[in-house]
Structure 1
Amino acid sequence: MSRYERQIPIVGEEGQQRIMGARVGIAGCGGLGVNALTFLTEAGVSDFVLCDPDVPDISNLNRQFIYAAGDMRPKCVISAEWVLALNYTAMVDARSLKINAETASVFEGCTVVLDCLDNAESRLALGDWCAEHGVPLVHAGVSGNTGQIAVCVPGETPCLRCMIGTLADEERPSNLGANVAVVAGMQAAEAIRLIAGLPSNARGRLVTIDMGSWTTESADVSADPSCPRCAK
């Protein structure tokens, strides 16, 4: 446990044991995903399900720091190797597939899932699956200087569809690597709080961060009365 002695005063010994025993799903191995994955591995998570259908592109390299120019293997495979380089005893289930209503079941058995996706269709399919199967979900998104976080806990908070609505995809969002890392760090911290059983004021709220002015907004979100999952 000496590896984690600097964080045990924050998460507690029982919390650290929970972190080390958690199975965490990462949906999307892009800028958010590789940063969050790194933070979680370093915190003691050693069992992951990684899901991403893509291979690295040269335009990814300003923020997706684990990839190298010319390495065209699936992102999930490279990400799995990265985890094992940080912790050779880790278990990683790497899946090169797109998340939809059928494939989201790859996260069956996860303690928590992180939404690090970059398209609305997959994001909402993941949110629906997590809500229906009782799996907590930590959502994050970044565009330019703006980031957002939402923590959805089935039975406690509205689902992701209620939290963020049906947002349209940006054709090619702008991203600064440092901004992505900030939001991924917040996302990973919320996942750690969930796993360790720590309180969080982010649950059930949509938190928006302006990294140009360093201001935040936190809005309580109510369930949509027409939502088939939340309005029961």
Structure 2
Amino acid sequence: MRSSGNSAWVRERPSRQWRNIPGTAPAPVSSAARIGRRLRWRTAPRSGSSSPPPAAEGVMMGQAILDEEERERYSRQTMLPAWGEEGQLRLKRSVVFVAGLGGLGGPVCLYLAAAGVGTLILCDDGLVEISNLNRQLLYDEADLGKPKTAAAARKLRGLNPRTETVERRVRLREGSVAGIASDADILVDCLDNYQARQVLNAHAVRAGLPLLHGGVLGAGGQFAFLFPPLTPCLHCIFPDDAAERSAPLPAVGPAAGMVASVQALAALRYLVFGEPTMPNLFWRTDGWNPQAEALEIQRDERCPVCGRIS
């Protein structure tokens, strides 16, 4: 199914299928200002503005400043007029929690570290296995048998020593997630386990943080920016009904890289500009035939996770 400029996708319950409604289009989403207010800028925004205040002196904001090496390192992205050095400083002060350091989490971390995110919290309880190496670009054969968190942190420090890495070699559980993700500005779901995804989703809703969901199956993948009450939560889309099997699923490396790139871009857009990426849409693509579709998703008012949020 492909969406067009004059079509919208709506979700039919309870079958959880989508159908195309010709001649209609999704209502424009004007939530950037609201999201900007929710984003915990390290300095307070101006009254009535969704953006952080301009630098008071040159590129100084709060206690942060870009030195000459940073200006050169990030110059190709700070050339963007809306990004600039002030936007780079927002990245420098930001904290991103990445859950899962596999085919998605690896490229996400590489791109965010390269872009200058200040702190990456790396969460994974696994060891590097040889079956990972077809798609998990953070690792090589020298890392086999090592904790993914340690191997990832080492690789990321080599890429950009200015990005702090915090290792969390734990399995996501209800009782532990709040403690290990408490400082984050945004959560990135790079998991391959349904139960762990729902734990992370519940924490995102409780903490009032956006969740960037990504998934890969074969040569295809999916993405959603989830931030109730502006959007559904993950449970609205995938209720607890054994939606995923515990057995390993097929995954082609470039498909994981494709979805991870979308997740990384969405994280940068949120952290620099305070803007959502495709809110209320579920993006998916087939890598064998590079076409994407955006499916409209709706909140479930009876959702036990986010239904009471308004």
TM-score after normalising by structure 1: 0.94
Count, aligned residues:
232
Alpha-carbon deviations, 1:73-97, whole Å to 9, x = none?
Answer: 2101111111111122322110111
User: What is the aligned partner in structure 1 of residue 207 from structure 2?
Assistant: 133
1:133-172 aligned within 5 A: 133-166=207-240, 167-169=243-245, 171-172=247-248
2:83 to 9, 12, 25: 12
Q: 1:8 to 1:49 in 2, by over 3 A?
A: same
Please name the residue that 1:104 is paired with.
177
Among 283, 301, 304, the alignment partner of 1:207 is 283
- The answer to whether structure 1 residue 180 and structure 2 residue 261 are counterparts is no
Q: How far is 1:198 from its partner?
A: 5.0
Q: Equivalent residue of 2:223, what SS?
A: strand
For 1:86 and 1:201, the matched residues in 2 are separated by 27
Matched, 1:29 2:101: yes
Q: After superposition, give the CA deviation of every residue in 1:37-94 in whole Å (9 maximum; x if it has no partner).
A: 0000111113111110100111001111222225312101111111111122322110
Structure whose residues are more often helix by fraction:
1
Which of 134, 140, 164 in structure 2 is aligned with 1:62? 134
- How many percent of aligned residue pairs carry the same amino acid? 31
TM-aligned CA distance change 1:195 to 1:180, over 3 Å = same
Which amino acid is 1:12 matched to? W
Query: For structure 1, which segment, 17-26 or 115-124, has the greater mean C-alpha deviation from structure 2 after superposition?
Result: 17-26
Partner in structure 2 of residue 189 of structure 1: 265
The residue number in structure 2 matching 1:93 is 166
Aligned amino acid, residue 23 of structure 1: V
Question: Any idea what the Cα deviations from partners look like across 1:164-217, whole Å, max 9, x if unmatched?
Answer: 434223622111111111111111001111111254441222111111111111
The structure-2 alpha-carbon separation of the partners of 1:194 and 1:164, relative to structure 1 and needing over 3 Å to count, comes to farther
Is residue 41–residue 86 contact of structure 1 (8 Å, CA) maintained in 2? yes
For residue 128 of structure 1, give the secondary structure of its aligned residue in structure 2: helix
2:307 corresponds to 1:231: yes
Cα distance in 1 for residues equivalent to 2:83 and 2:192: 34
Q: Assess, with a 3 A threshold, how the Cα gap between structure 1 residues 216 and 165 changes in structure 2: closer, same or farther.
A: farther
- Distance in 1 between residues matched to 2:277 and 2:185, nearest whole Å: 20
Q: CA deviation at 1:26?
A: 0.5
Distance 2:217 2:283 in 1: 14
Tell me the distance in 1 between the aligned counterparts of 2:142 and 2:158: 20
2:73 equivalent to 1:3:
yes
Structure 2 spans left out of the alignment, 5+ residues: 1-70
Q: Deviations over 1:108-142 (max 9, x none)?
A: 12011110000100001101111111111101000
Moved over 6 A (4+): none
Residue 50 of structure 1 pairs with residue 126 of structure 2: no
Amino acid at match of 1:194: Y
Distance 1:95 1:37 in 2: 14
Are the equivalent residues in 2 in contact too, given 1:163–1:206 (CA < 8 A)? no
Structure 1 stretches lacking a partner, 5+ long: none
CA–CA distance in structure 2, aligned partners of residues 30 and 184 of structure 1: 10
Cα distance between partner residues in 1 of 2:160 and 2:208: 29
Aligned partner of residue 97 in structure 2, secondary structure: strand
Q: Is contact 1:150-1:163 (8 Å) kept?
A: no
Q: Does 1:123 align with 2:197?
A: yes
Contact 2:226 2:232 in 1 (8 A): yes
**Cα offset for 1:163?**
3.1
State the SS of the aligned residue for 1:185: helix
Q: Deviations over 1:12-59 (max 9, x none)?
A: 123222112110001001110111000001111131111101001110
8 Å Cα contact 2:149/2:168 also seen in 1: yes
